[in-house]
A and B are shown apart, each in its own frame.
Chain A
Amino acid sequence: MKRFRFYARLYILMISQYIKARMQFRSDFYISTFAMILLNITGIFSYWILFHSISSIDGWNFNQLVFLYSFALLATTPQQIFFDNLWVIRISLRNGNFIKYYFKPINTLFYYISEVFDIKGLGQLGLALVMLIYSSVKLGINWNLLNIIMLIVFILSSALIMISLMLLAASISFWVIESVSVIMLIHKLSEYSRYPITIFNGVFRFIFTGIIPIAFIAYYPSRYFLSQGTFDVKVFATPFVGIILFMIAYRVWTIGVNRYSGTGS
């Protein structure tokens, strides 16, 4: 507990320094927040266009798809805000700066990710919440205490899945330095968690459930809220998938960290 308090205090200190530094570039903050929101509005907008011609996709109507979309967006937000530094790991590995993370008596992963707090992710969070509230009002979802608790549990577990996938992708950089395309691939894959998994055939359903479990990022947890009473038991596997995946990802990261030997300069 003492250790946790220590890390929490350290995180706040480091992030406030980071935010102060970023706020020198205020126009960057406004433009990237705008771009972040635009990026996601584009996604919803294409559904809106599509639903001029059709009334449902695989039994899902517009509001249900918006709910699924906003759930996926909410689940990827913690990764976006707190783990954004993973995108550029190749740069510090290549120029040797990564060696500095070994020199402090704190957790290497913690030290690395606490250097960046992605402010524009807050725009994404805001948009996701607005969309979630809009669609759940339209769908008449009853937000009783149990449902709110389940929402928090599911969001946290889905977020953990997303973080683990990105951590795994970023860890590949320890073996192959120019691996930004792997991170991009995982990032793109996570965007496909916005579609109902039932549109795929058996093979891809298996891959997205069992191997790269993006179905647990949004599809299964959303089912809990969208089909009250008749959902699949797989829904409740979500927290376990998150925890197990994070344990694997953290293990791979540790192996990578132990393997890195700097650039020699």
Chain B
Amino acid sequence: MKKYFTITKKVFRIITVFRFNFIFSIIGNLLYIIILYFLWGAIYSSGAKKLNGMTFNQVFVYLSLASTIFMLFSTYLEWGMSREVIEGSIVMHFVKPVDLQMYKLFESLGFVLINFVTVTLPSILMILVVFRPQMPLGINLIFFPLSLILAYFIMFNIDFFVGLLCFYNESTWGMSSAKDSIVMLLSGAVIPISFFPGTLKTIVNFLPFQAVYNIPLDTLVSYNLNINDYLRNIVLQLVWVVILFIVNRLFFRKAVKVVTVNGG
């Protein structure tokens, strides 16, 4: 375990060089939150107190945190993997006594930690101070962080899956942005899941994406959930973590055979 944490520390050191980028990432996120504030303000201005069971306040917290979580989970994992395949340096992982999936998990953990300190914390503070949103204060505050950690493991596996797909072609931009579009929309990060029309909502509930954003965010903002719902959601997330982890294991064994590195 210790060797893996060394990887995490390594990333932490590299990234602190690029401070300028973090300032602009925070500004970018805040700007998006401001846009959300006005856009949903206009949507709710027609007089409705609640749309699909959500107040303006709930939607605002839900979506602004979704964007902040997106920044938190931005580890550019598939970009790194694709570059390693194109450069051929991926073979260096195969000759070392470390497991690639675990290596990548701890590497991306480094990115997540640095994102948390540099982007997520300032963003959350700004949301709380500037907009003073209301949310239920209770047992959900314990389940939210737990749910968020599981959401990260699901997101990591989705990223890793796309990273493995990059073994087969060199279209990193294409794969990565297709993934982002699909995940963001079907997870509720752009429009809360409760706004989805009936059939679509049913389909989305059978997909892993809503476990990344909708479950933790719903846990945080919804007044209608009780402890059984929280526990059921956590179990659902755990199931997705296990399924995706196994799928990636099997996929990796297949994908590793197509890697060709010329010379060196």
Partner-B contacts on A (CB < 8 A): 25, 27-28, 31-36, 38-39, 42, 45-46, 49-50, 52-58, 120, 176, 178-182, 184-185, 188-189, 192, 195-196, 199-201, 204
Contacts and interface: CB of A to CB of B under 8 A. Distances in A.
A44 to B, nearest CB: 11
Interface residues of B, number: 41
Interface in B131-173: 169-171, 173
B169 A195 contact: no
Interface in B176-215: 177-178, 181-182, 184-185, 190-191, 195-197, 200
Contacts of B24: 179, 181-182, 184-185
A31 B178 contact: yes
Contacts, number: 111
6 contacts: A35-B178, A39-B178, A42-B184, A42-B190, A46-B185, A57-B42
B28 A184 contact: yes
A46 B21 contact: no
Nearest to B52: A53
Say whether chain B's binding surface is mostly helix, strand, loop, or mixed.
helix
A31 B20 contact: no
B41 interface: yes
B21 A180 contact: yes
Given A28-B170, A31-B178, 20 more contacts: A27-B169, A28-B169, A28-B171, A28-B174, A31-B171, A34-B178, A35-B173, A35-B177, A38-B177, A39-B177, A46-B185, A46-B190, A55-B46, A57-B39, A58-B42, A178-B18, A179-B24, A181-B28, A195-B35, A199-B41
Interface of B: 18, 20-25, 27-28, 31-32, 34-35, 38-39, 41-43, 45-46, 48, 51-52, 169-171, 173-175, 177-178, 181-182, 184-185, 190-191, 195-197, 200
Contacts of A34: 174, 178
Q: Which among A31, A58, A180, A200 has the greatest number of chain B C-beta atoms within 10 A? A: A31
Contact of B171 (A32, A38, A55, A182): A32
A192 B34 CA distance: 11
A46 to B, nearest CB: 5
B181 A35 contact: yes
Contacts of B31: 185, 188-189, 192
Nearest to A49: B191
Interchain residue pairs A-B with the least CB separation, the first 4: A181-B24, A31-B174, A32-B174, A28-B171
Nearest to B23: A181
A201 B38 contact: yes
B196 A35 contact: no
